[in-house]
Amino acid sequence: MTDLVPAARHVAFDWGGVFTVGTFDGRSTQNVAERSGMPVEHVRDSYFRHVRQLEVGAWTLPHFWSVMQQETGVHLTYAEFEALYLGSIADHAPMYATLAALPAGVRVGLLSNNYPLVSDHLRADPRFSRFDALVFSNELGHKKPAPESFAALETAMERPATQTAFVDDVQENIDAAKAAGFHGILYHHEAHQEFEQELAAWLGLKGPKS
């Protein structure tokens, strides 16, 4: 991307599957299963039954883990689980490079269905200083694709939705973003260069050099 500042075009991103490789839920449940010796299907059955409570901020992470322990019989301390949980973040380096290259005149937001502790961890990441607006479902009380999520993003961006592209790896969320007035860009890891070209076109910038 160039240093040319676009005229009133901005961008907001999802986190999981965009700034990470694969899904955080899949990686974290796999790590818990491997550490505990439990079948991953057994761990995931409990995890996905209750994870929404984390995503909307209804449960703390320690409470979530205590429920999972009771249901699965996994014998890991909360401290061990927390370390595994945060250790399950697998960065997608090309997207962080794209983020860092965005011109200063572009406002940048994040709208993520996320969890207590993880959202704090991300907010403390120096790379996240490039974001002008961070909206996490566990702090908002609503998760994508709920309209309230995109209304909160528009407010946090301090720009009209029509001036903002929203990048997500899930079509349902892109559809909801478009319904809220955003320009939607569906993201695929294997097509990052094509994504950069599409984003540059939206922002009115020259695409990345080949």
5 vs 28: CA distance, rounded Å: 39
8: confidence class by pLDDT, cuts 50, 70, 90:
confident
Instruction: Look at the chain and report how many structural domains it folds into.
Output: 2
CATH number, domain with residue 183: 3.40.50.1000
Residues 146 and 182 in one domain: yes
Does residue 5 carry a pLDDT above 50?
A: no
Query: Taking a C-beta distance cutoff of 8 angstroms, is the pair 167, 185 a contact?
Result: yes
The larger pLDDT score, comparing residue 2 to residue 151, is at: 151
205: confidence class by pLDDT, cuts 50, 70, 90:
confident
Residues 41 and 123 in one domain: no
Does residue 208 carry a pLDDT above 80?
A: no
What residue spans of 128-184 are helical by DSSP H? 137-140, 147-157, 171-179
Residues 102 and 34 in one domain: no
Residues 72 and 126 in one domain: no
CA neighbours within 13 Å on the CB side: how many for 34?
9
Q: Is the peptide bond before 94 cis (omega within 30 degrees of 0)?
A: no
SS3 11: strand
Which tokens hold the place of 199?
């984003």
Domain that holds residue 125: 10-22+91-203
SS3 166: strand
CATH number, domain with residue 38: 1.10.150
Residues 33 and 117 in one domain: no
Residues 70 and 111 in one domain: no
Per-residue model confidence (pLDDT) at position 23:
84
Residue 124 falls within a domain, yes or no? yes
* Residues linked to residue 166 through DSSP beta bridges, in sequence order: 12, 184
Average model confidence (pLDDT) for the chain? Answer: 93
Q: What is the mean pLDDT of residues 13-35?
A: 94
Q: What is the mean pLDDT of residues 166-181?
A: 98
Q: What is the mean pLDDT of residues 89-96?
A: 96
Per-residue model confidence (pLDDT) at position 176:
98
